[in-house]
Amino acid sequence: MASRAGQVRPALGAVAIAAALGGVTLGTAFAVALQAGSFALSPADWAALRFTILQAALSSALSCALAVPVARALARRRFVGRGLLVTLMGAPFLLPVIVAVLGVLAVFGRSGLFNDLLALLGLPRLSIYGLHGVVLAHVFLNLPLATRMILQGWQAIPAERFRLAQSLSMGPGAVLRHLELPMLRATLPGAAVAVFVICLTSFAVALTLGGGPGATTVELAIYQALRFDFDPARAAALSALQFGLCAGAVALGWRALQAPGFGAGLGRRLAIPAPGGWRRAADALVIVLAAGFLLVPLGAVLWRGLWGLSDLPPGLGAALARSVSVALASTLLTTSAALVLALAVAARGSRLIEVAAMLPLAASALVLGTGLFLILRPWVRAEDVALPVTILVNATLSLPFVYRLILPQAQAMQADFGRLADSLSLTGTARLRWLVLPRLSRPLGFGAGIAAALSMGDLGVITLFAGESGATLPLYVHRLMGAYRMDAAAAAALILVAVSFALFALFDLWGRRAAS
Amino acid sequence: MLHLDHLLLTEPGFALSADLTVPKGARVAVIGPSGAGKSTLLNAIAGFMAPTAGRILWQGADLTALPPGDRPLTILFQDQNLFPHLTVAQNLGLGLSPRLRLSADQHKAIDRALDRVGLATLGPRLPSQLSGGQQGRAALARALLRARPMLLLDEPFAALGPALKADMLDLVSEVAAETEATVLMVTHDPTDAKRFADQTILVADGMARPPQDTAELFQNPSQALKDYLGS
Amino acid sequence: MKIAFLGAGLAAGVTALATMAAAETPVLKVLTYDSFATEWGPGPAVEKAFEADCDCDLQFVTAGDGAALLSRIQMEGATSEADVVLGLDTNLTAAASATGLFAPHGQTWANSLPVAFADPNFVPFDWGWFAFVYDKTKLTTVPASFEELAASDVKIVIQDPRSSTPGLGLLMWVKAAYGDKAAEIWKGLADNIVTVTPGWSEAYGLFLEGEADMVLSYTTSPAYHLIAESDDTKAAAAFTEGHYLQVEVAGKLAATDQPELADKFLAFIGSDAFQSVIPTTNWMYPATAAAVPDGFSTLIKPEKSLLLSAADAAAARDAALAEWQAALAK
């Protein structure tokens, strides 16, 4: 039902962005592949592939299974501090990996709170190290993302539909069948694919908590191939394998995808009916457990960081300023690009653009950085382009998240108001201002917050480019840790977390304010 | 004059042909069984659907390649005729300027249109603060402002009660008279057709038949119409 | 180059201008690992001391860790801007020499390493013994060898030899001490290993958080806690098999456009001005007989030092790695 003339330009923009994404992800892998080396994969690489898929599948399944009751409880219960809790619970996803691992260990490690509690009760201590530890940490990191994606699905069901269900005397079971299951069928595959693909490229979490070389992922094999064997072709082959897995997962997700088709509501903000009785108690329990699981490790990170705050090195301020600038620039870049892609897909649906938008999830940061280094080096000095490259890479890596967050509501907007806007000649900036921004401000604000925080926390590529004085805050934390200065590192990490979170909360708040 | 010239509309498992003319200034009802393609026909005229073959002409000018907003018409949908995040006045304003940059005269015109449809003080409200009838009136006020030569109605008042709907149809008549618009109105209610339209297009069996005099049509119904009316 | 951050695009331009302005003084570019050039690392003091009498501008270019240095050199080949590479260790020098990108150093200053060390392309700038570090207040029965460690239920955290230089050092340590018996030692250690981390800092962090009784680090690690934190609870366990050495080296790139300056810098590495900075910034032993601070006297001094030659280490690596993986994959 798309019209022709009015939408040619955004589609062109979308194609250009999709091409750029393909260039940055696949092109860099190609640049690496052009280097010398052998493409042969060893039996150990195949073992790594099996472990990678296993841990990613388990992590994704568990994250999504747990996210459903949490999102439902949050969607239909109202209590003091709910908004703050929803925002806070998003924080683990934004933590730098090593900080998150230390937080998880403070609770579930050998001498963590959980084991102390078990010991107090006379029970044997449990070891976190192994496949279950990897999955636990991945659930800690990704439950917030899955919860928020599903919560948005719940909030996208117009309140009128719930009232209709009430008027038809539908019980919770019937509401589940007629309203919630269709929504979950539309939302869950996206969340599952996103978490699965994020866990595919896990490296530090898998290795640190995996307990030994059995927990080797493809990303570690890439690291080894590039750093210790200097076998770029093998790294590129492994990277291609990772892209293949990602494409497969996205394709599977599509087969499961179904449009929710709720139609539009009038935008009245009504409370979703909240059944009482045992369901109320169950919801309360779910919220308390999820909040505890996500917030206690976070609290441990903060507590640990407080001690070093008095002894921060002077270079931290500059690193922080660099990180914030990088985060803001890449947020602007990635949110605009994701919006253009989501609008184009909502208007006409293009699988090629969809694939391009998901590609960065499967990209190995190391291959990406190395590829960019190889491509750019003949023309510029690495340390001169450290920050622009970091902005580009961070924008690329966070794009899939922002895109996935915007897309469902962009599609709903297109279905509900696309024809009306077309009939009123609402195109270009007028459409952006009077239709797109007001309708999409909630996912845009949330997406921009995610992008900003991810960009703050990302270490990936800067190590290849940063010169003597070009460190971003995560790199600075890493350098402090590498120099025994664990207290200062913990304090710097605390600042990193606080600033990431503040950026996230600001954007998210802006989106929610603008939406109401 | 609206001319559908050997128009063929296809979707998977669906086809509709139309080869007919509607005189300028006519009020035409479009009736037929559900799923016959009444809305599809209006969507094609409004530019939301590209025809597989044929042309759509208004006063001899080919509209087929024009984007929806550039066509000489206003369309009212079954629902979603107003943006819920904009005030009623802003919704009307978009009918005058997509960028919503309005001159003082245009603001006055909006006030007059609101006054005309009986919503004089409701301009600053959000659509969700209006009743269903008031929302219909607001959408009609925008049609009045746009004053395009054609007005297409895709059952915008189907959800209203009989008395309210009669009021709205009267208002449509007035608006059409003031803007000298040609009106095409989809309805499944023969009373609406008889009350409002001097001519009627019957859409059935994959074909939109040329408009006939409404009274005559219902007096001597064809087999297709009999099937539809169940008489 | 101390430039305020003004925005990504601007930074590049400002750097370019600053480079032009400094064009009259010759620039020596030293490619080194991240932590060497940090504000608390040896970098700033080394830069100041060298610039005091070289009439030049010493600039550090950084790239991750030691292994990242090598891959960077391999990527850049003969077109590298760097003149000197500082921070490879002896497990990497064979591969580095094989690239043909390094020139003989021609230095004659004597090093004071505990084993004889000479390499035509590389001079040592510091060294340390690998050791397992523990907390004296928590671990009372300290194993005195790999065999005792394997027999005990002491928990250790180590680094992955595929992603970290200390991890690779441990692999070589067991190989050098036990040769064909190395696989058995690893099998015995399997149930002691809490986990394997990608790098040194993760492992050391886990140890400090109480996740393990011991961590693979250096005999000099306790000196950091003693000198910088006045904390004397950390100690390194002395192993009767002897301790493997990590020797960190520097070399001159053959394609340098500043060969004299590069030679001057390699000579400077052997001076007290450079060496006296090392102990309390890099927390390693100086490569020459330069004085070490008091805290170092409390450290264990292994009687036996182990070090495979660069060629032997390179030759042994793949088999040792396979052995390690097979023994630890449960």
Distance, CA of C8 to CA of A384 (rounded, Å): 9
Give pLDDT, residue B212: 93
Residues C268, C258 contacting (CB under 8 angstroms)? no
Nearest to A314 among C16, C39, C81 (CB): C39
Closest A-chain CA to B9: A1
Nearest to A438 among B77, B85, B127 (CB): B85
Contacts of C23 (CB under 8 A, 6+ apart): none
Mean pLDDT of chain B: 91
Residue from A377, A387, A484 to probe the interface with C (highest C Cβ count within 10 Å): A484
Closest C-chain CA to A318: C5
Closest to A273 in 3D by CA, of A366, A166, A401: A166
Taking the mean position of all CA atoms in its chain, how far away is CA A366?
18
Sign (positive/negative) of CA torsion A205, A210, A216, A217? negative
> What pairs with residue B57 in β-bridges?
B3, B62
Q: Write down the domain spans for chain B.
A: 2-72+148-229, 84-147
Encoded amino acid at A216, one letter: T
Give pLDDT, residue A442: 87
Q: Which H or E run contains C71?
A: helix C66-76
Distance, CA of A1 to CA of A418 (rounded, Å): 10
Helices (H) and strands (E) in chain C, counts: 12, 12
Give start and end residues of each alpha helix (H) in A131-228: 131-156, 159-167, 172-175, 181-200, 204-210, 218-227
Q: Is the pLDDT of residue C272 over 80?
A: yes
Closest to C284 in 3D by CA, of C214, C197, C205, C218: C218
Is CATH 1.10.3720.10 correct for A37-260+274-306? yes
* b/e burial code for range A218-227 (CB count within 10 A of at least 16 → b): bbbbbbbbbb
- Chain A hits for B143, CB-CB cut-off 8 Å, are none
Distance, CA of A205 to CA of A201 (rounded, Å): 10
Please, which pLDDT band fits residue B25 given cuts at 50, 70 and 90?
very high
- Distance in Å, alpha carbon of A215 to nearest chain C alpha carbon: 8
Q: What are phi and psi of A271, to 5 degrees?
A: -70, 140
Please, which pLDDT band fits residue C11 given cuts at 50, 70 and 90?
very low
Instruction: Count Cα atoms within 13 angstroms, Cβ side, for A235.
Output: 32
Instruction: Count Cα atoms within 13 angstroms, Cβ side, for C53.
Output: 7
Q: Write down the domain spans for chain A.
A: 7-35+310-516, 37-260+274-306
Do A7-35+310-516 and A37-260+274-306 fold alike per CATH? Answer: yes
Residues A245, A200 contacting (CB under 8 angstroms)? yes
Distance, CA of C111 to CA of C106 (rounded, Å): 14
Complex ipTM more than 0.90, yes or no: no
Distance, CA of A88 to CA of A68 (rounded, Å): 18
CATH fold of B2-72+148-229, please? Rossmann fold (3.40.50)
Select the CATH number that applies to the domain covering A7-35+310-516 from these four: 2.30.300.10, 1.10.3720.10, 3.20.20.60, 1.20.1240.10: 1.10.3720.10
**B25 in helix, strand or coil?**
coil
- For B65-103, write each residue's pLDDT tens digit: 999 989 999 999 988 899 999 999 999 999 998 889 999
Q: Is B162 exposed, middle or buried (0-12, 13-18, 19+ CB in 10 A)?
A: exposed
Distance, CA of A323 to CA of A331 (rounded, Å): 12
Please, which pLDDT band fits residue C237 given cuts at 50, 70 and 90?
very high
Confirm or reject contact between A430 and chain B (CB < 8 A): yes
Instruction: Name the DSSP letter for residue A335.
Output: H
Contacts of C283 (CB under 8 A, 6+ apart): A483, A484, C128, C218, C220, C221, C223, C224
Q: How many CB atoms lie within 10 A of CB A255?
A: 8
Q: Do chains C and A touch (3 or more CB pairs under 8 A)?
A: yes
CB contact under 8 A, B67 and A422: yes
Nearest to A313 among C7, C39, C197 (CB): C39
Encoded amino acid at B140, one letter: L
Instruction: Name the DSSP letter for residue B158.
Output: T
- Region B39-45: mean pLDDT is 93
- All domains of chain C, ordered by start, with CATH? 8-127+247-290 (3.40.190.10), 128-245+295-328 (3.40.190.10)
Confirm or reject contact between A438 and chain B (CB < 8 A): yes
Residues C302, C219 contacting (CB under 8 angstroms)? yes
- Chain A hits for B67, CB-CB cut-off 8 Å, are 3-6, 422, 425
* CA–CA distances in Å: residue A121 to residues A114, A115, A116, A124, A288: 11, 10, 9, 9, 21
CB contact under 8 A, B80 and A425: no
Residues C267, C275 contacting (CB under 8 angstroms)? no
Distance, CA of A119 to CA of B85 (rounded, Å): 56
Q: What are phi and psi of A99, to 5 degrees?
A: -65, -40
Instruction: Name the DSSP letter for residue A123.
Output: P
Structure-token pair, residue C105: 């150093």
pTM (two decimals)? 0.82
Place of tokens 């189907």: B158
Nearest to A228 among C15, C75, C162 (CB): C162
Q: Do chains C and B touch (3 or more CB pairs under 8 A)?
A: no
- Distance in Å, alpha carbon of A441 to nearest chain B alpha carbon: 11
Give pLDDT, residue A467: 60
- For C168-204, write each residue's pLDDT tens digit: 999 999 999 999 999 999 999 999 999 999 889 889 9
Encoded amino acid at A302, one letter: L
Q: Do chains A and B touch (3 or more CB pairs under 8 A)?
A: yes
Place of tokens 């044929």: B54
Distance, CA of A40 to CA of A378 (rounded, Å): 29
- For B146-172, write each residue's pLDDT tens digit: 999 999 999 888 888 888 888 888 999
Per-position pLDDT tens, chain A of length 516: 334 434 444 578 888 899 899 888 888 888 888 876 677 778 888 888 999 999 999 999 999 999 999 998 998 888 888 888 888 887 887 777 778 888 899 899 888 889 899 989 988 888 889 899 999 999 999 998 899 888 878 877 777 777 777 777 777 777 777 778 888 887 888 889 888 988 888 877 888 888 888 888 888 888 888 777 778 888 888 888 888 887 788 778 766 654 444 544 444 455 666 777 888 889 999 999 999 998 999 898 888 889 888 888 888 999 999 999 999 999 999 999 999 999 998 888 777 888 888 888 777 777 788 888 888 878 887 777 888 888 888 899 889 888 988 888 898 899 899 999 999 999 889 999 999 999 999 889 989 998 998 888 765 666 666 665 677 888 888 888 888 888 888 899 899 888 988 998 899 889 888 876
Q: Which H or E run contains A456?
A: helix A437-457
Q: Is the pLDDT of residue C13 over 60?
A: no
CB contact under 8 A, B69 and A416: no
Instruction: Count Cα atoms within 13 angstroms, Cβ side, for A224.
Output: 25
Encoded amino acid at B144, one letter: L
Chain B residues with at least one Cβ partner in A under 8 Å: 43, 46-50, 65-70, 74-75, 77, 79-81, 83-86, 90, 94-95, 98-100, 126-128
Give pLDDT, residue C109: 93
Residues C284, C220 contacting (CB under 8 angstroms)? yes
Q: What is the DSSP string of C259-271?
A: HHHHHHHHHHHTS
- Chain A hits for B81, CB-CB cut-off 8 Å, are 420
- Distance in Å, alpha carbon of B205 to nearest chain A alpha carbon: 22
CB contact under 8 A, A98 and C205: yes
Structure-token pair, residue C51: 């610039």
Confirm or reject contact between A127 and chain B (CB < 8 A): no
Distance, CA of C121 to CA of A405 (rounded, Å): 55
Contacts of A316 (CB under 8 A, 6+ apart): A473, A476, A492, A495
Distance, CA of C286 to CA of C42 (rounded, Å): 12
Please work out, in degrees rounded to the nearest 5, the angle formed at the alpha carbon of residue A13 by the alpha carbons of A10 and A14.
Answer: 85
Contacts of C269 (CB under 8 A, 6+ apart): C86, C123, C125, C250, C275, C287
